[in-house]
């Protein structure tokens, strides 16, 4: 049965404790610099310059030589040279076990250069974690070009999200055994900004539409990340922990630690879980497709039977372990290849078994988890050719009785692509099939091709991204009857798979920034009027100066007229659509609790999305009621909400505007 969800955290309560720990543990090896003047400055925990002539705690990972060198230096006169390497993974390593606190985000920086005479290559910065006799490797900075002619800076962030008994940072090469220098290694942390509690929770904003989810790893379920996750999301998808390479790396030897921890966190916190994924052509160990003596399996009946029995055993184990805790499974992932005339990806699964791997996977998953919703998930489902091939496959499988309940659209998109029309066509294409649909892995890259790379996200890209989130979520909300959830592939920009895919560069594709603060992208969904539209200052419209009213304290009258004022503004209009805001001021003397605002549109305008309120539209009649955070409207107070709507021949102002049945003056 399910393991006990236990987890030991080593989180220390405050930064002071952290600074003390760092001082005590690390000072012996590497000098600690003076604490920062301002709390917001990064705190330098380690600083290895090798200027004192020692390796400052750096050691070889295996048999290579690591020694101080004066041949080249990034700063001062010394660096560290790793020579005599016999494998690409060998290189200088520094133990961090006592200096790094679980759940705190550190920036690791090091300068690297190949030794004179070595041909150019690629280097990367990684962290090795050891626990219970096994090691795991996390990339901090991906493969980066380096030569013997110049220093290159590797800098990335890392959060220790596991209990470990060994931990070290190291520099290695992507291939080859070139001698290499490192210099000026630093480890610093940025005191975190508190998770915002004065902004609406996404899950409340979207409550009437669909559950909202985030992909997670161990890093998202501790510290501030966990606070942010619980606050805004309804569901989680373990991003890697349930994949085959994580759960059954060798035949019959299952590893549950990460999956148990993440599913356990979700269960304990009332979050639903999407199980991702049972059959995929990636992150599947080689043993699955080879026989016991290492020969690749073929489509012979015996080999095919072996493959399908492995698949069945895997699904029985993984799905069986989590039972009701996982209500949705991506049974199959990325099986479509639109460039094949039959649309079927030529994966090892397909080559050995034809379509039987899909038939087996869905049948067994249904048997083990009869109430779970079973999905087929893919990327680029907005591309018409791919979409149609997927639709054909789903139609075919369902006609055979294969229990495919839903289609998952990954939605790894960018600030330019795809168009809204194509995305809408994607959703529409599957409606006639009678399947559920979910958006399963959404992120919006700031990059539009593989050649771009920005050290920090440019303001105009973030703005465009905010509009993309606004428009795509407005579309999703219009299709809320079809979509049973929307999941983002990550929680915040501090940890996104796009930092290393398709190339290594910092991306910022999510709703919260690297400091876990709400981006304009978040406001694009929650309240587009709060998107910061002015990355560069623009001339604001001239308004005639008005004297500020003199406020003299007056006792609040308890009797008097009950009146209201409504200010309606169309903030943006384009062919077929517009954005507007409505500001209601309670000019009367009594407070309105749980207010209702009503009006009629004279020209058939139709609202597609409204923020800061809940909308119902019945023909021309519109009714708006508050959300949980703006239901009180005191005397003298205002509420403001905004919306996106369509219009056709004309777009005249609302008529018959009332607050709790009371006609409001306009202007
Ligand atoms: C990604 C993970 O986020 C990465 O950490 C991992 O290195 C590679 O896989 N489509 C999928 C997901 O279905 O499983 C992928 O997740 C992203 C693309």
Residue 497 alpha carbon to ligand 1 centre in Å: 7
498 CA to centre of ligand 1 in angstroms: 9
Positive or negative, the CA dihedral 585, 590, 591, 592 is negative
- Take atom 12 of ligand 1 and give the residue whose Cα is closest: 239
> Of the ranges 123-132, 140-149, 325-334, 588-597, which one carries the lowest mean pLDDT score?
588-597
> SS3 of 609, please?
strand
| CA of residue 501 to ligand 1 center, whole Å | 9
Span from the CA of 189 to the centroid of ligand 1 (angstroms): 27
Cis ω for the linkage preceding 423 (within 30 of 0): no
The residue whose CA is least distant from atom 3 of ligand 1 is 497
Calculate the alpha carbon distances from 14 to 250, 344, 599 in Å. 41, 54, 52
Look at ligand 1, atom 4, and give the residue with the nearest C-alpha: 497
State the pLDDT at residue 221: 94
Segment 284-341, tens digit of pLDDT? 999 999 998 999 999 999 999 999 999 999 999 999 999 999 999 999 999 999 999 9
Q: Which is the closest atom of ligand 1 to the Cα of 377?
A: 13
Ligand 1 site-directed mutation target among 142, 161, 219, 489, most atoms within 8 Å of CB? 489
543 pLDDT above the threshold of 50 = no
Separation between Cα atoms, residue 457 and residue 298, nearest integer Å: 48
> Per-residue pLDDT averaged across 2-8, rounded?
30
**Residue 364, H or E segment:** helix 356-368
Task: Identify the residue whose C-alpha is closest to ligand 1 atom 15.
Answer: 239
Q: What is the mean pLDDT of the chain?
A: 88
Residue 196, classed as helix, strand or coil, is: coil
Cβ pair 291, 306 in contact under 8 A: yes
CB-based contacts of 645, cutoff 8 Å, min separation 6: 577, 578, 579, 580, 601, 605, 606, 607, 608
pLDDT above 80 (res 39): no
Distance 380 CA to ligand 1 centre (A): 14
Query: Strands across the sheet with 134-146, in order?
Result: 58-60, 92-95, 166-173, 121-131, 134-146
Instruction: Over range 110-128, report the average pLDDT.
Output: 97
Q: Give mean pLDDT, residues 585-610.
A: 88
Q: Name the more confident of 631 and 393.
A: 393
Pocket of ligand 1 (CB under 6 A): 239-240, 333, 410, 441, 497
Q: Are 64 and 52 in contact (CB under 8 A)?
A: no
Proportion of the chain above pLDDT 90, given as a percent: 72
**Distance between CA atoms of residues 619 and 158, nearest Å:** 53
Ligand 1, atom 16, residue with closest C-alpha: 239
Q: What mean pLDDT comes out for the span 7-29?
A: 29
How far apart CA 313 and CA 319 sit, in angstroms, is 10
Closest-CA residue, ligand 1 atom 13, reads 333
Atom of ligand 1 nearest to the CA of 243: 14
* Paired strand residues for 214: 236, 488
Take atom 7 of ligand 1 and give the residue whose Cα is closest: 497
Q: Considering only CA atoms, which of 43, 319, 45, 10 is closest in space to residue 165?
A: 10
Q: What's the Cα-to-Cα distance from 367 to each of 20, 66, 75, 316, 376, rounded to whole Å?
A: 54, 56, 64, 9, 17
What is the CA(408)–ligand 1 centre distance, in A? 14
Task: Please measure the distance between the N-terminal and C-terminal CA atoms of the chain and give it in whole angstroms.
Answer: 65
Of 381, 441, 497, 498, the residue with max ligand 1 atoms within 8 A of its CB, to mutate for a pocket test, comes to 497
Atom of ligand 1 nearest to the CA of 497: 3
Both structure tokens of 577 = 């659509």
d(CA 97, CA 104): 13
For the cut 80, the answer to whether the pLDDT of residue 22 exceeds it is no
**What average pLDDT does this structure show over 243-265?**
97
Which residues belong to the active site?
334, 378, 441
pLDDT tier at 37, thresholds 50, 70, 90: very low
pLDDT score of 84 more than 60 = yes
* Residue 217 alpha carbon, nearest atom of ligand 1: 5
pLDDT band, residue 628 (cuts 50/70/90): low
Ligand 1 geometric centre to CA of 333 (Å): 11
Cα–Cα distance measured from residue 286 to residue 457, given in angstroms and rounded to the nearest whole number:
38
pLDDT for residue 413 is more than 90: yes
- Predicted confidence at residue 18, as pLDDT, reads 32
Does position 229 have pLDDT exceeding 80, yes or no?
A: yes
**Contacts (Cβ under 8 Å, ≥6 apart) of 34:** none
Contact between residue 49 and residue 75 where contact means Cβ atoms under 8 Å apart = yes
pLDDT over 90 (residue 378): yes
Q: Which residue has its alpha carbon closest to ligand 1 atom 5?
A: 497
Segment holding 461, helix H or strand E: helix 459-478
Beta bridge partners of 633: 592
Pairing of strands 662-663, 655-659: antiparallel
Residue that wins the pLDDT comparison between 560 and 144: 144
Residues across the chain: 667
Q: Which atom of ligand 1 is nearest to the CA of 215?
A: 3
**pLDDT at residue 538 tops 80:** no
User: For residue 280, which atom of ligand 1 is closest to its CA?
Assistant: 13
Q: What percent of the chain has pLDDT over 70?
A: 90
pLDDT of 163 reads 83
User: Measured from the CA of 330, which atom of ligand 1 is nearest?
Assistant: 13
Q: What is the pLDDT of residue 73?
A: 97
Please, which pLDDT band fits residue 573 given cuts at 50, 70 and 90?
confident
**To test the ligand 1 pocket, which listed residue (501, 503, 509, 510) has its Cβ within 8 A of the most ligand atoms?**
501
Model confidence at 40, pLDDT cuts 50, 70, 90, reads: low
pLDDT for the residue numbered 228: 97
Quote the ligand 1 centre to 239 CA distance (angstroms): 6
Tell me what pLDDT residue 102 has.
81
Ligand 1: residue of 217, 219, 240 to mutate (most ligand atoms within 8 A of CB) is 240
- Confidence (pLDDT) at 25: 28
- Answer yes or no: is pLDDT of 2 > 60: no
Residue 534: per-residue pLDDT = 64
542 burial type by CB count under 10 A (0-12 exposed, 13-18 middle, 19+ buried): exposed
* pTM to 2 decimal places: 0.66
pLDDT of 467 > 80? The answer is yes
Ligand 1 centre to CA of 474 (Å) is 26
């Amino acid at each position: 049965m399910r393991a006990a969800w236990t987890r030991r955290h080593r989180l220390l309560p405050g930064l002071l404790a952290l600074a003390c720990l760092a001082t005590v543990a690390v000072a012996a090896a590497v000098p600690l610099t003076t604490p920062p003047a301002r709390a917001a400055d990064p705190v330098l925990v380690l600083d290895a310059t090798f200027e004192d002539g020692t390796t400052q705690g750096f050691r070889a990972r295996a048999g290579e030589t690591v020694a101080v060198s004066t041949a080249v230096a990034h700063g001062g006169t010394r660096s560290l040279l790793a020579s005599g390497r016999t494998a690409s993974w060998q290189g200088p390593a520094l133990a961090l076990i006592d200096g790094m606190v679980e759940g705190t985000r550190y920036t690791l920086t090091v300068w690297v250069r190949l030794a004179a005479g070595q041909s150019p290559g690629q280097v990367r910065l990684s962290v090795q974690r050891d626990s219970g006799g096994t090691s795991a490797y996390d990339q901090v900075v991906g493969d980066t070009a380096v030569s013997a002619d110049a220093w290159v800076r590797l800098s990335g962030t890392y959060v220790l999200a596991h209990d470990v008994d060994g931990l070290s940072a190291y520099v290695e090469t992507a291939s080859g055994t070139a001698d290499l220098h490192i210099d000026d290694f630093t480890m610093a942390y940025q005191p975190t900004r508190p998770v915002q509690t004065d902004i609406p929770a996404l899950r409340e904003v979207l409550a009437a539409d669909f559950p909202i989810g985030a992909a997670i790893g161990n890093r998202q379920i501790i510290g501030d990340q966990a606070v942010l996750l619980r606050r805004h999301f309804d569901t989680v998808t373990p991003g890697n922990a349930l994949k085959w390479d994580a759960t059954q790396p060798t035949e019959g030897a299952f590893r549950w630690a990460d999956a148990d921890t993440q599913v356990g966190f979700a269960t304990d916190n009332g979050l639903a879980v999407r199980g991702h994924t049972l059959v995929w052509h990636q992150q599947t160990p080689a043993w699955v497709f080879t026989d016991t003596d290492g020969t690749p399996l073929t489509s012979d009946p015996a080999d095919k039977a072996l493959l399908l029995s492995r698949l069945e055993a895997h699904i029985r184990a993984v799905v069986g372990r989590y039972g009701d805790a996982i209500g949705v499974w991506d049974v199959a992932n990325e099986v479509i290849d639109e460039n094949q005339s039959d649309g079927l990806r030529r994966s090892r699964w397909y080559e050995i078994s034809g379509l039987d791997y899909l038939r087996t996977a869905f049948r067994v998953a249904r048997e083990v988890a009869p109430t779970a919703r079973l999905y087929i998930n893919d990327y680029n489902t907005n591309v018409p050719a791919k979409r149609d091939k997927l639709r054909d496959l789903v139609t075919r499988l369902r006609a055979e009785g294969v229990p495919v309940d839903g289609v998952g659209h990954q939605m790894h998109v960018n600030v330019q692509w795809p168009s809204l029309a194509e995305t809408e066509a994607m959703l529409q294409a599957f409606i006639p099939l009678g399947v559920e649909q979910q958006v399963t892995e959404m992120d919006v890259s700031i990059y539009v091709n593989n050649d771009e790379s920005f050290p920090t996200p440019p303001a105009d890209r973030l703005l465009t991204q905010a509009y993309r989130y606004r428009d795509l979520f407005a579309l999703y909300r219009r299709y809320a009857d079809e979509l049973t959830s929307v999941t983002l592939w990550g929680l915040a920009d501090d940890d996104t798979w796009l930092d290393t895919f398709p190339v290594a560069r910092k991306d910022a594709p999510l709703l919260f920034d690297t400091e876990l603060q709400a981006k304009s992208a978040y406001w694009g969904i929650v309240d587009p009027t709060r998107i910061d539209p002015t990355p560069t200052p623009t001339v604001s419209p001239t308004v005639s100066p008005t004297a500020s009213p003199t406020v003299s304290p007056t006792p609040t009258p308890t009797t008097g007229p009950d009146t209201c004022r409504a200010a309606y503004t169309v903030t943006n209009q384009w062919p077929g659509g517009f954005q507007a805001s409505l500001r209601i001021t309670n000019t009367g003397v009594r407070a309105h609790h749980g207010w209702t605002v009503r009006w009629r549109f004279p020209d058939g305008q139709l609202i597609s999305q409204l923020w800061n309120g809940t909308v119902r539209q019945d023909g021309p009649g519109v009714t708006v009621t508050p959300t949980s955070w703006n239901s009180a409207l005191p005397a003298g107070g205002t509420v403001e909400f905004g919306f996106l709507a369509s219009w056709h021949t004309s777009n005249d102002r609302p008529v018959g505007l009332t607050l709790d049945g009371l006609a409001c003056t306009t202007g």
